[in-house]
Amino acid sequence: MKKIFPFVVFLLFLNACKAQQQVISDNTKTNKEIVDRPKLVVGIIVDQMRYDYLVRFYSKYSDNGFKRLINEGFNCQNTHFNYIPTYTAVGHSSVYTGTTPQNHGIISNNWYDKYLKKSIYCVDDDSYETVGAKDGGKKSPYRLHTTTITDELHMAQNRKGKMIGISIKDRSAILPAGHTADAAYWFQGKDDGKFITSTFYMNSLPKWVVDFNNSGKADSYLKGEWNTLYDITTYTESIEDNNAYEGTFKGKQTPTFPYNLDELRKENGNFELLKAIASGNSIVKDFSEAAVIGEELGKDEYTDFLAVSFSSTDYVGHQFGVDSKEIEDTYLRLDKDLEAFFNFLDKHVGKDNYTLFLTADHAAVQVPSYLKSLRIPAGYFDTKAFKVFVDNVSQEYFKENVIEDISNFQLFLNKEKIKQLGLNLSEVEDVFCNEIINFNGVYKVVSAKTLQTTYFGEGILHYLQNGYNQKFSGDILVVPNPSTISYSKTGSTHGSGYDYDTHVPLLFYGKGIKKGSTDKYLRIIDIAPTLSSLLQVNFPNGTTGKVIEEVLED
């Protein structure tokens, strides 16, 4: 009996261990069922894309480009940026962090640094070196002060998945990819014509990147001519080809099709020209496909993230304007590139294995000189006259120049000078606000103190407040009149909080996404938390957006 009792105890112990192992196994299985992530997430940002481009050119789009996302995915028809300024770096940062400049710290593309006493660029970082060319790569995301959805996904998987950013522009590749990215690649024009990176990510380019750079693709896109994809007489959605509201390339007298690329590249920066024509989007598409293959994205148990930004739409819009034949052709060609890219993802990743969203980093105003020809209120802000005006105010009230910098419709006051003069900072701010509101073209003006002490729940001042960063922004913030810009008399630009700059497309598609649409007002900062919910990872740490529940499958 004494010998049997220890044996029975041993058997009971073994059964308990097996039961515990079964519980662990069941729990593991349950967790895998809960976290059913796609193999690949693709984020697409189309630089300077207005929402109405989806509607205006809809009849000319193919069935499998933009229309595929609209008809088979979820279309958020009333999505807006909810801050000022609507610039490229700010837009890309806000999409991926789920918050506004108030929190993530990217307040413009370039801005005056009141600590360094100089203008800085959003991703410049002399701590690193260029990889792949002689220059153009001393970059990093260190000025972005919060995490991104790509960071959170990476950390959730113990950095097992791959996070990669790709664009023509450095800032558009770097900021979406996040702080923990495996890579960010951007196109170096001039005489290089290559995709490059920074030592922040790696010390040498992968073989697939070297092979792509040596393939001659960039050069091939600058051969021959840029002509319309279809008969130009069918481009009835845009104004006449030769009009007074478009800019021209150096070496060409009129802004008209066709464009002889072999000739134009000689006077327009060689490979820099590729950025400014529709084919710039095509090479980004080609490089993105090469990245999927070269990095084997979507091929293992971990979720990868490919952040792609098509920037040539922005260059074309700035040059030719919202209503030009050139912008229409660029979007029709981009639609073809998207169709090819989606078909590629279907083949190499699997149609049910990836999730994709498409949006923009800002929209654009119609050319003010064109609007004026239609008797619509519009105009041009005279920045030189404004500086003289502000200097005169300073001299009249304070007998000294107390302005340190004027940029991005913000005034930075010289705090040391104000202190030396024994002036009260708040009173100085009030003087400038009271006087600047009288300057031609100014719609609103507000002080930093007001933005810090007063809550604006809606309207243009709400947007201004969301874009104001107490640490980095200026002391006086100016809002110009609607359709009033500081720019040339030809071409379009952006930066305001008006609907023409804030209203952008937002399309979701793929694994975990419902089919449908909504016209409910949504904010661009809602994208990151929606993806976080889909992927079951932490929200980016500065998120102020909310999950768009209608988009996600139950």
Active site residues: 88
* 126 residue type, one letter: D
Question: How long is the chain?
Answer: 554
Helix residue ranges per DSSP H, 310-382: 312-320, 325-345, 368-373
Q: Which pair of tokens denotes residue 450?
A: 């007001």
| Residue 301 burial (CB count, 10 A) | 10
CB contact set of 257 (below 8 Å; sequence gap of 6+) = 226, 227, 228, 232, 241, 325, 326, 329
Q: Is 140 helix (H, G, I), strand (E, B) or coil?
A: coil
Distance in angstroms (rounded) separating the CA atoms of residues 318 and 487: 10
The amino acid occupying position 347 is: K
Q: DSSP assignment, residue 459?
A: H
Best CA proximity match to 46, nearest among 269, 293, 358: 358
Q: Can you read off the two tokens belonging to residue 259? A: 């464009």
| Cα distance between residue 424 and residue 507, in whole Å | 50
The closest of 258, 281, 408 to 340, measured between CA atoms, is 281
Residue type, 59: S
Instruction: Tell me the angle at which helices 325-345 and 279-294 cross, rounded to the nearest 10 degrees.
Output: 10
Q: Please give the DSSP secondary-structure letter assigned to residue 100.
A: -
Taking residue 208's Cβ as centre, other Cβ atoms within 10 Å add up to 14
- Are the C-beta atoms of 354 and 40 separated by less than 8 Å? yes
